[in-house]
Structure formats: C-alpha cells, structure tokens
A = this chain, B = another copy of it.
C-alpha cells in the first residue's frame, strides 16, 4: 500500500466499509477481499422502499457526491430517503491499486469493468443492507455508466434511473479521448509501468492529464465567461495550476488508470451480445436521461439516441456552461434543474 493523504477519511469521510469478499471479475480472475466504502444518509423506512443509490464518477468520492447532490429540502433529501453512496473500485476509497495488498497492489491490480462494480454494489445492497428495491439509481459520468448497468442488469430492482452526462454504451470518440488521459500518465518516464514508489514521482504525467481535462472537461463558453471566477479563483493561472493540476497531482496514477480503463469500456450491450436496443429495452425503471448541453464528450445527441431505446424514458437536457464539469454543480441554476428533474422523477409512479 502506498501512502497517499488525499484518500483519507479526513478529506473524504466518514465512510463505512463492506467486506465483499472475493469478487469474480468479468475479465478473467478475481479481486480478493474487496472492500467497498460507502456512506448512508437518511434512514430506511419500514416498507424498505425509499432507498436511493448513487455510484461515483471518475476521480470522485462519496463525500463529493454528498456535498453536491444531497441536502434537506432538495430532491435527494436524507430526511425522506435512505441515500447510499458507493465509491467505485479504483476510486482510492474502496479497494484500489494504491491501497490493495499483494497480489493486487499497484500495477498488479486486475482490470475492472463497470459490471464488476455493479455486481459488488448489488451484494452490498441486498446482502448487507437487506434492501431489495431501489427507488432511484442516479449518477453522473462513470456514475451514469453504473446507473445504466444497474437498470439493465437488475431491471426489477431499479424503480427509477437518472443517468447524468454519461453513455450506456461508450462511443469511439470518448474511448479515444480517455486514451489521451491514460497516455498522459504513461508518458511520464517516472510512471515506470506503474511501479513508482509515490504518486508524487508521476506529477508531470498527472499535470499533463489535468491540462487535457482543462481542454475537454469544461467548455469554450466557460473560458469565454472566465467561469473560474465562479469557482472562487482569480485567474486562469490559478484555475489551471492550483485548482486543476493541484487536484489531479494528489491522486494515484494507477487508481486513475484503473478507472479510465473501466470508463472506456462501459457498455450495457455486453449483456445482450452487442445488441444495445435489446439491452436498453430490458430497462423497467422510469428513466430520465440527463445530458449537459455544453458537454464536449458525452454529447446530448448521442445520449438522445440511447434514450430513444429505453421504454419508459424522457430526455432532460441540463444547461451549464461548465461542459462535463457542470456536474460539479458550481452554478445554482444547474442544481435547481437537477433538483427539479429528480423531484419530478421521484414523484412518478413506477411500473414494476
């Protein structure tokens, strides 16, 4: 295990840990002694029908999702719902390359797929928390990929689904974009095929990744509007160096590579021999597909194509100048739209 203060409970906790045991992976092999870190906000009611699940996005944590999306009086209200946020495998909080003991430590960590996360989360929810239905699964970006996987894999269990800014089946363009993020890390000679002794050695590669994120992860309007001021930053230099590079250089390269590999290959049609319409046709959940209008890689047009294959679904286009990073909710009107959509979705009767 590599020491990395970024993944501490001081910064991202508190969390509970579920020992999921050994997880058989969709790729060959298994992940030993999987520990899923999760947080619960609110209480399960007697009917056990008020549970909401939120999976995390690339480089995100349960704390971040809590801070942005949950609150009293909001759609995801812990006084009304029992909200479970699960940190994805590789996030640095759940079992991840940087914290795994041998034989899975660091560069030896196996390839994980979205399906592996969802199967492990299913075990947590059903076996550990004794919950057999989810009123809603909602997540952004890689959280949307997990949301789709949940709705297709467990159609009777998921009553409502809200994938935000993400695809059910990843596109070639997005795959290649993600490859540039991977390449940015691997371009650092200190990456050493994943065998570094501290993430700090790979800061050049992590900084390079942060600069690619800068170009694709926001939007041209965000730059035209000097949107970093809304983040409390005085200049583009502060935004670029202190905020973006400052964030990614704290993270573990192998953790990011684990998540990026998974992100590239998210595809619910793996459950139906490549037939995406058949996979999405399985969904019984009331579904709101929620792309962000200025997103540069999860495009509304491509999200709409998927939405049209989902029986009980609607497209809800979110407005943000933040591009994909609009997900961070730095605009009050974005949060208002999120809450309005999720309140509407939660008020709808379900069909299963």
Contact = CB atoms under 8 A, between A and B. Distances in A.
A196 interface: no
A302 B172 contact: no
A197 interface: no
A214 B297 CA distance: 13
B220 A173 contact: yes
A165 to B, nearest CB: 14
Contacts of A171: 220, 223-224
Contacts of A211: 176, 179-180, 183
Interface string A229-241: 0000000100010
Nearest to A174: B220
A173 B297 contact: no
Nearest to A236: B172
A223 to B, nearest CB: 4
Contacts of A222: 173
A221 interface: yes
Most B CB contacts (10 A, CB to CB) among A176, A240, A302 go to: A176
A69 interface: no
A314 to B, nearest CB: 22
A214 B183 contact: no
A183 B180 CA distance: 13
A297 B173 CA distance: 16
A228 to B, nearest CB: 10
Contacts of A240: 176
A215 B172 CA distance: 10
A236 to B, nearest CB: 6
A215 B173 contact: yes
Interface string A156-181: 00000000000000011100110110
Contacts of A296: 296
A299 interface: yes
Nearest to A212: B180
A208 interface: yes
A162 to B, nearest CB: 22
Contacts of A9: none
Interface string A127-159: 000000000000000000000000000000000
B208 A187 contact: yes
Contacts of A72: none
A193 interface: no
A195 interface: no
Given A172-B236, A183-B208, A216 B216 contact: yes
Contacts of A221: 301
Contacts of A208: 183, 187
Contact of A223 (B173, B183, B220): B173
Nearest to A299: B220
A189 interface: yes
Top 10 nearest A-B pairs (CB, nearest first) are A173-B223, A172-B223, A173-B220, A177-B215, A187-B187, A220-B299, A180-B211, A176-B214, A176-B215, A180-B215
